[in-house]
Amino acid sequence: MEYWRHGRTVVPLGGTFENVDETLQFIGEFEQESILQRTQSLRFKVDEEAFLRIELGEQDYFITYTALKDLCKLLKVPASFINKFPPSTLMLENLNRNPYLQEENLSLRLNIWKWENNLVIAGIMPEEIPTISLREYLEMQRDYDMFSRKGVDTESIVITGEEVVVYFLLEEEMEGNGFLFRSGYALHFSPTRATDTYIVPFYKMQVTAPTGEPFDFDFESAKKLRVARRKKKDFIELTNRFATSYNGEDLGIDFNNTLKKGELCRQLSSVRFGILKMLKSRATSIFNYSGMRAEPGLVVDEVIPEYRQFIAANRERMKGMENYEINTLPVDFYLPLYLNRIYTFPPAGENPYFLLKYRKTIGTLLEKLLEETSNQF
């Protein structure tokens, strides 16, 4: 697996796969082991290329940005400070002489991954936080035939340095007024972070514009159908149950809301300027993740050109108006075109971090727009 540099840390690129066998082969290339260490045994240094390295015995480890953030929470040190190239002596003093490191002596679980001939600490969490490996999680699903069920397709398996998400789609295609969609669900689990396991509805939708042009997009619903709390005693039991038996049996509770989202996408032709500003903010935030960041001005120009076009056309008019008045001005805006621009924006590519953030963000965005237009759909 490839990694990219982010400050003094590394970020695993991850991958997106169509089937479990291909995914397990990929995992075998990098996932190593989970080891227990006391905080007092951790020693930090900076190598000749200014990477932060952690010494454990005779072995040096790189560390991912995610793992550094979780470690810094335990040590009460801001990860952003450590990762932004402060003087090495000052940074190392904050780590090696950290009172939590020296006095608390916590027992930590370190998830070790591989990067070429190097070892990387990909996750850090207290020993008492339960977890299982990526391989164990997906093999469990495979062994229970979750990837070969009648009427259910595996849409994708997405791996990042923070989580694995398995997307399933029901075979049946549903039809609304001017749009089509397939329902499914997404299982979120993290082997490297102390986050909850949860299931949310997932949809692929095609909306036909008044011109007859089809627009395709997909998204996760913000509504969680199942949750296994990481710090609860039944976390592993529930995670295993979700992974081996959930079959989308309660997707129907989100059905009417999904129809409303389809109607929203098909019929919405204008928004308030205040909503347009929110859409601009969401667009730029999607392309800011794990050390990767597209130039915000370029995103605005390519993804939501309506924003600057509106300002240019109404600059003189807005000079004498209060902000709340400006925010109520109507702007011509077609939502499916905006969603399509986000997905086809060049920096998106096939980056799994982008894919997950895109699907989550679009789901919350549609919920926000439904609230804004609740009297229309």
Which of the four pLDDT bands, split at 50, 70 and 90, describes residue 375? low
Domains of the chain and any CATH numbers = 3-16+31-126 (2.40.50), 134-263 (no CATH), 270-372 (no CATH)
How many CA atoms, within 13 angstroms, populate the side-chain half-sphere of residue 170?
A: 18
185, with CB counted inside 10 A (0-12, 13-18, 19+), is: buried
Q: What is the mean pLDDT of residues 351-356?
A: 92
| Nearest CA among 349, 354, 352, 290 for reference residue 7 | 290
Contact, 202 vs 186, CB < 8 A?
yes
Question: What local confidence, expressed as pLDDT, does residue 348 receive?
Answer: 55
- pLDDT at 291 > cutoff 90: no
Global pTM value: 0.94
- pLDDT at 271 > cutoff 80: yes
Q: Among 97-111, 189-203, 354-368, which is the least confidently predicted range? A: 97-111
Average pLDDT, the chain: 92
Percentage of the chain modeled with pLDDT above 70: 98
Contact, 72 vs 84, CB < 8 A?
no
Which tops the pLDDT comparison, 287 or 376?
Answer: 287
Alpha-helical regions (H) of the chain? 20-28, 65-75, 79-83, 88-96, 99, 134-143, 235-245, 255-267, 273-286, 296-303, 306-318, 323-327, 335-344, 352-372
Q: What is the mean pLDDT of residues 294-299?
A: 92
Question: What local confidence, expressed as pLDDT, does residue 92 receive?
Answer: 87
Q: Tell me how far apart the alpha carbons of residues 3 and 80 are, in angstroms, rounded to a whole number.
A: 19
Which of the four pLDDT bands, split at 50, 70 and 90, describes residue 141? very high
Q: What is the mean pLDDT of residues 31-58?
A: 93
Question: What local confidence, expressed as pLDDT, does residue 376 receive?
Answer: 59
Q: What is the mean pLDDT of residues 256-272?
A: 90
The DSSP code sequence of 20-58 is: HHHHHHHHHTTEEEEEEEEGGG-EEEE-TT--EEEEETT
Summarize pLDDT for 12-41 with one digit per residue, the tens: 999 999 999 999 999 999 999 999 999 989
Q: What is the mean pLDDT of residues 300-321?
A: 94
Question: What local confidence, expressed as pLDDT, does residue 177 receive?
Answer: 82
- pLDDT at 349 > cutoff 60: no
